[in-house]
Structure 1
């Protein structure tokens, strides 16, 4: 249990975390709201106790004065009995009530001889001051009353309250108030942190998940949007999109390093073999020297092409960000590439079937569209057999897409090859791949570019019947001719 509590504390021990901030903020708000009632109640109780005390003192004054007015001249014993009797308003003796209420009462005869006192303090000077004492004191702390008999001063009643009673009542109320406020603060603290943890729990889950993500598991870990509500769902979806992009970038980087190291191994080994041969004895033989230099230069050129293609492939995954505002007229580009290939391969018959009735704009960088068409047409030329005929078709597909189809009549491919043809370094005819050239990256580059522009590419083929590659790209807007 102790370890569990310590673990929970360590999770939120950062004093600047949202849990602490919201917890203390909610504690203050809840405490201020909850403290209104006990403070108001205590204040009302104080006012009631104060008013009740003043009322009790006034009633006792009236009672004593009334009873003293009923006494005769020889009434010393009656005075003593008066203060020993129980008072109907309190059910205690008058003397006890005076002590409880902190009332110092003294009775003097007409010659100011003390005949009764509840405290030892001498209040005789108050008789001389009389009404003046009442005017100058607050809350009637001193009262002097003259009792007359046959119109002559008979007794003097003097009463003084020191305020200790009310002070003690006030201290008790404040003490109970502080205890109540302390309990309320503790309860508010618990409730506030429970509420803060409840509201911020999704963020804490997100934080814990993100802290566990690394390059090895980023492709597997995602936030479950069903666990959140409202804005948290949108945040979790945005985080998942970000993780998808990061995962894709990491995967591209990893594959780039792996593929480059794999593909460069052969040309490096070839060059190394020829250099060792020359170093041992080949440099003395002009024929061997020429052959080794020619082979090494060929491999270096192939390495340059390979590295450039790998860089193109890596950049292809970022076109949606780098070329987001690019627009290209599709008919113009297709016709330009078509004319160029007619010049480059005069022994081939190229046919362009343009079904577009007007020019269409698509969101793609012009050079990238040209690169895609060149890759597909180059492959069509490379894998053509005796029938040197290539068809290019441009049309509108389902209103929203431009479809470009490039068909050759070469050797075709099996269903298994069709599934892998867009993989990096994959070649359908591995036995003849060296003489045809290329590194098996062209279709991978084309697919990455097309996917980056929210399009699609697929192939229809059969062994011996040629292949037909279809490229679909979304229409951006229409241009009237």
Structure 2
């Protein structure tokens, strides 16, 4: 990546809408919406309660008015109503009956004075003919007769309010002597609603700002690993071999896990790059020698050797030998490439581990009669593992062949196969040169040879163990090596068991039951 591309990316990042602001605004809007819903519900409930209280107050006011006036027997007039509802305006001539003297004397302590004193409450008294005889205030609503208590929601002037109507019946005669009409304009309710809305607006704005600020600070805190990750990626893009990594976080959360995974990924990438460079160098080195040998012989033949039958035969033989080695190298590289794709081409293949192990053991006894081969087979019945048969055989051949190559002094190889409840283990042991502790981790590397000076004479290109490792791991198995320098080496491979065949049951029967196959799918 050039510096110009890096600068372009920096400009794009500067222009974008940062995730920190998105997080801050998202948190602010989220909390604000929750607060708004809570405020609306609270406001609606508050309004419903206040409306119920206003209706109750209006009904109480009507009851108090009627209780004050229904002790009269004659039709209500201004003179008979005024001493009960406005005693402060009554004159000496506006006498009340003796039976009502206590009511008049105690009128100042009665709650009706408080009811009439409210600005949004109006009390009107009408005679039986519908003519107003008393009104605490003027209202535009017209009189309506009724024979029962009736409270309704109506327009009072230009605003909604409550209007209660009720007939006034004489206690003595039971006839209607007038009508009471009480009107509430809900002024107190509207003032309370207005104050509550202002409080909600202030609290909403405060909640929005505080939640936005907290969201931004949390975003900055939580996104620190992502920022460090971005900066590290920029450095890696400019210098792929850089050892720059994200500092370990003391936090134990998902972002800390992401940081560890990211660092592990960079470590693997660096190892892959190093292995790729080493691979290219090794391939070049491996091919350079045979190509140079063939080229030398061809030049010699071209100059003068083609006329000498002995030199011609020697050059052709040496060239064919080098071509065979190059062919073997190319074939092993193809095997290594295919080993990395077995999960695609052989996903359901099944193999009897006991049968294949015994077959490979028999083959090596036949082709290497000078060696002593010992088989320790603990499997009592066919044991099925999920791997393509040819690949399992190839793994065993690589390990057995490797044991034969490095067991020149004590020509003895042990092959053992055992199992537990979940897996089967195959071990190949030789008694040869062994591997130094510092080389144990490198034996599976491509083109690696423990003894580079003598390995070429023994044959092989240093790819066998790498192929075996890829095949084992591709089938979800495990391969390990234990070695003591000068005493020998043990390679152990482990595969999960699919099933142990019952007596009389064949691998074909199991394949028919499960739908798996030991034969690979055809690839056109």
Taking structure 1 as the reference length, what is the TM-score of the superposition? 0.62
- What does residue 227 of structure 1 align with? 252
Which of residues 460, 467, 470 in structure 1 aligns to 2:491?
470
2:74 pairs with 1:68? no
Q: Whole-Å Cα distance in 2 between the matches of residues 340 and 251 of structure 1?
A: 41
- Label 1:191 to 1:258 Cα distance change in 2 as closer, same or farther (>3 A): same
3-state SS, counterpart of residue 309 of structure 1: helix
3-state SS, counterpart of residue 460 of structure 2: coil
3-state SS, counterpart of residue 457 of structure 1: strand
2:306 pairs with 1:285? no
Contact 2:416 2:427 in 1 (8 A): yes
3-state SS, counterpart of residue 175 of structure 1: helix
- Label 1:210 to 1:302 Cα distance change in 2 as closer, same or farther (>3 A): farther
- What does residue 44 of structure 2 align with? 39
Contact 2:24 2:214 in 1 (8 A): no
**Following TM superposition, by how much is the alpha carbon of 1:285 offset from its aligned partner in structure 2, in angstroms?**
0.9
**Following TM superposition, by how much is the alpha carbon of 1:426 offset from its aligned partner in structure 2, in angstroms?**
2.5
Map residues 141-290 of structure 1 onto 2, 5 A cutoff.
166-182=185-201, 227-228=252-253, 250=269, 253-254=272-273, 257-267=276-286, 269=288, 284-287=302-305
3-state SS, counterpart of residue 446 of structure 2: coil
- What does residue 427 of structure 1 align with? 449
3-state SS, counterpart of residue 185 of structure 2: helix
Map residues 71-470 of structure 1 onto 2, 5 A cutoff.
88=108, 100-101=119-120, 103=122, 166-182=185-201, 227-228=252-253, 250=269, 253-254=272-273, 257-267=276-286, 269=288, 284-287=302-305, 302-313=325-336, 316=339, 325-345=348-368, 348-356=370-378, 358-361=380-383, 363=385, 364-385=387-408, 389-396=411-418, 401-408=424-431, 410-418=432-440, 420-452=442-474, 453-463=476-486, 467-470=488-491
- Label 1:273 to 1:184 Cα distance change in 2 as closer, same or farther (>3 A): same
Q: Whole-Å Cα distance in 2 between the matches of residues 377 and 101 of structure 1?
A: 105
Q: Whole-Å Cα distance in 2 between the matches of residues 362 and 324 of structure 1?
A: 15
Contact 1:376 1:469 in 2 (8 A): no
- Label 1:174 to 1:461 Cα distance change in 2 as closer, same or farther (>3 A): closer
3-state SS, counterpart of residue 426 of structure 1: coil
Most deviating of 135-144 and 441-450: 135-144
Q: Whole-Å Cα distance in 2 between the matches of residues 175 and 81 of structure 1?
A: 47
**Following TM superposition, by how much is the alpha carbon of 1:370 offset from its aligned partner in structure 2, in angstroms?**
1.6
Contact 1:99 1:118 in 2 (8 A): no
- Label 1:70 to 1:447 Cα distance change in 2 as closer, same or farther (>3 A): closer
**Following TM superposition, by how much is the alpha carbon of 1:30 offset from its aligned partner in structure 2, in angstroms?**
6.4
Q: Whole-Å Cα distance in 1 between the matches of residues 429 and 144 of structure 2?
A: 124
2:67 pairs with 1:51? no
3-state SS, counterpart of residue 391 of structure 1: strand
How many aligned positions are there?
434
Gaps of 5+ in 1: 1-5, 146-155
Q: Whole-Å Cα distance in 2 between the matches of residues 104 and 360 of structure 1?
A: 104
User: Once the two structures are superposed, what CA deviation does each residue of 1:76-121 show, in whole Å capped at 9, x if it has no partner?
Assistant: x966999xxx972589999x9579356487999xxx9x99997789
- Label 1:104 to 1:120 Cα distance change in 2 as closer, same or farther (>3 A): same
Which of residues 4, 7, 10 in structure 1 aligns to 2:21?
10
Gaps of 5+ in 2: 1-16, 70-75, 84-88, 95-105, 153-161, 169-176, 504-524
- Label 1:222 to 1:470 Cα distance change in 2 as closer, same or farther (>3 A): farther
**Following TM superposition, by how much is the alpha carbon of 1:412 offset from its aligned partner in structure 2, in angstroms?**
4.5
3-state SS, counterpart of residue 396 of structure 1: strand
Taking structure 2 as the reference length, what is the TM-score of the superposition? 0.58
- What does residue 100 of structure 2 align with? none
Q: Whole-Å Cα distance in 2 between the matches of residues 322 and 248 of structure 1?
A: 29
